[in-house]
């Protein structure tokens, strides 16, 4: 009789490689590894040989870079979704995309379970599992780091020794390094000196995509982006897919020290964690999109969009991608993007993004209205009535407070007079 199957979210790292023999040993499953490519680049090298030699029955490497960019990244860019003022959601957007593909492979393989290697202290366990529950409530989820009765490895040394005992020789060092997560949108870094918020990051050993701003070129880099309905279409005159634009912006932004964020953030599980994020291309793309919206959106729409964009950021951060709330917010955002089209010019210089001109056929900016010599559309005298009505609540309140103060003063005087009269009568 054929064994039951488990789909393992496989990165090729030490944790998930050790999970292959662990799953076979503790559950007697056939292990189907699935590495979901969201732009990890060289991290995918040698995965098939490593997975199969470690005991996996099969390995899928599923490239979803374009789906990730079009269906997960761009909705957040359009919304201006930024978590706690700084984090551009690189890992948060990728996890539901990965969960979706894991479920697809599990259905294809008729697997009974999906296993992930996220720890019990982080956000990723929530993001993976909420995605799986929303898409496949019938599939069992295995989270080894929370199964302390079966998973008793507490360090890299323990995991490497476990692998050696099972005949698996791995090209990993014993030394502790940064914990990183990479995709096309960003690279995150945690660990080492970053665990102490009083210490500055060691950027010389930390950064992968980005040059420190002080070491960036002493000359500006000009770029020009065009958008259609909120989606970038060309970069410097060349038509490209969104994934290609992000890739090129990563190169240009990285060279100019753009998009380095050092943040202490609030995790979903209740603790604070400190990390450094490199998002050079994403930072430029978000800035360009915001710059275009300044021309194309009216004030009330922008105010509500900002509020909902912040709510979307928290929703995505918490792993609630496959929810009616995310769909509803995204529907609102899509409605706002119908006229967000035009051209944005920027200059990149030593970590700075500098505006260099914006144009749109749907611009709401009217030079006649905005200039000091206004034309027929604006009569200065109209401001009189507007200010009278706009300030009416303030004026009424002030009048009432004056009246109350006057009444209070009069009451005090009357009280003093009565007291004096009473005092004379007693004499």
- Residues with catalytic function: 15, 95, 124, 179
CA nearest to 131, candidates 93, 173, 162: 93
Q: Hunting for tokens 């500006």 — which residue is that?
A: 220
The answer to whether the beta carbons of residues 233 and 239 sit under 8 Å apart is yes
| DSSP per-residue codes, 113-129 | EEE----TTSSHHHHHH
The neighbouring-strand residues paired with 182 are 187
- Return the H-helix or E-strand segment holding 263: strand 260-266
106: its two tokens: 């599990």
Tell me 254's DSSP state: H
| DSSP per-residue codes, 285-353 | HHHHHHHHHHHHS-HHHHHHHHHHHHHHHHHHHTT--SSHHHHHHHHHHHHHTTT--EEEEEEEETTEE
C-alpha distance from residue 78 to each of 134, 182, 344 (Å): 24, 22, 15
> 3-state DSSP call for residue 15?
helix
Strands 58-63 vs 30-37: parallel, antiparallel or unpaired = parallel
Query: CB under 8 Å to 148, separation ≥6 — which residues?
Result: none
The length of the chain is: 427
CA nearest to 132, candidates 183, 108, 109, 98: 98
316: its two tokens: 């995505």
Q: Hunting for tokens 């020794």 — which residue is that?
A: 161
Q: Hunting for tokens 């749907």 — which residue is that?
A: 362
* Strand order through the sheet with 179-182: 179-182, 187-190, 272-278, 260-266
Composition of the chain by helix, strand, coil, percent to 5? 50, 20, 35
Q: How many CB atoms lie within 10 A of CB 88?
A: 23
Tell me 359's DSSP state: E
∠ CA(154), CA(145), CA(273), 5° rounding?
A: 85
């Amino acid at each position: 009789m054929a064994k039951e199957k488990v789909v393992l979210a496989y990165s090729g790292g030490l944790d998930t490689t050790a999970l292959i023999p662990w799953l076979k040993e503790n559950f007697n499953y056939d292990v189907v590894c699935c590495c979901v490519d969201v732009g990890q680049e060289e991290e995918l090298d040698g995965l098939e040989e490593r997975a199969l030699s470690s005991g996996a029955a099969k390995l899928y490497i599923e490239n979803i870079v374009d789906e990730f960019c079009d269906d997960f990244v761009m909705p957040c860019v359009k919304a201006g979704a930024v978590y706690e003022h700084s984090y551009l959601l690189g890992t948060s957007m990728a996890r539901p995309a990965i969960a979706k593909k894991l479920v697809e492979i599990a259905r294809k393989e008729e697997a009974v379970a999906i296993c992930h290697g996220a720890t019990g202290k982080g956000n990723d366990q929530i993001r993976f599992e909420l995605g799986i529950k929303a898409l496949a409530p019938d599939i069992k989820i295995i989270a080894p780091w929370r199964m302390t009765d079966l998973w008793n490895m507490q360090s890299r040394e323990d995991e490497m020794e476990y692998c050696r005992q099972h005949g698996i020789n791995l090209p990993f060092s014993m030394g502790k390094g940064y914990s990183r997560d990479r995709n096309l949108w960003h690279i995150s870094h945690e660990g080492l000196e970053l665990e102490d918020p009083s210490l500055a990051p060691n950027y010389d050993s930390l950064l992968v995509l980005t040059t420190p701003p002080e070491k960036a070129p002493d000359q500006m880099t000009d770029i020009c982006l065009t958008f259609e309905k909120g989606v970038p279409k060309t970069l410097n005159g060349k038509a490209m897919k969104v994934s290609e634009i992000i890739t090129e912006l990563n190169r240009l932004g990285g060279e100019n020290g753009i998009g380095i964020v050092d943040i202490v953030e609030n995790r979903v599980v209740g603790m604070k964690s400190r990390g450094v994020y490199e998002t050079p291309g994403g930072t430029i793309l978000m800035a360009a999109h915001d710059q275009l919206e300044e021309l194309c959106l009216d004030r009330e729409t922008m105010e509500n969009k900002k509020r909902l964009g912040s709510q979307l950021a928290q929703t995505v951060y918490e792993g609630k991608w496959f929810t009616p709330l995310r769909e509803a917010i995204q529907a609102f955002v899509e409605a706002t993007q119908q006229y967000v089209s035009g051209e944005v010019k920027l200059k990149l210089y030593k970590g700075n993004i500098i505006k260099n001109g914006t144009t749109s056929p749907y611009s709401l900016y009217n030079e006649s209205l905005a200039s000091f010599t206004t034309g027929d559309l604006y009569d200065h005298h109209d401001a009189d009535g507007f200010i009278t009505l706009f300030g009416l609540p303030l004026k009424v309140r002030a009048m009432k407070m004056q009246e109350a103060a006057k009444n209070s003063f009069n009451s005090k005087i009357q009280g003093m007079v009565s007291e004096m009269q009473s005092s004379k009568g007693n004499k």
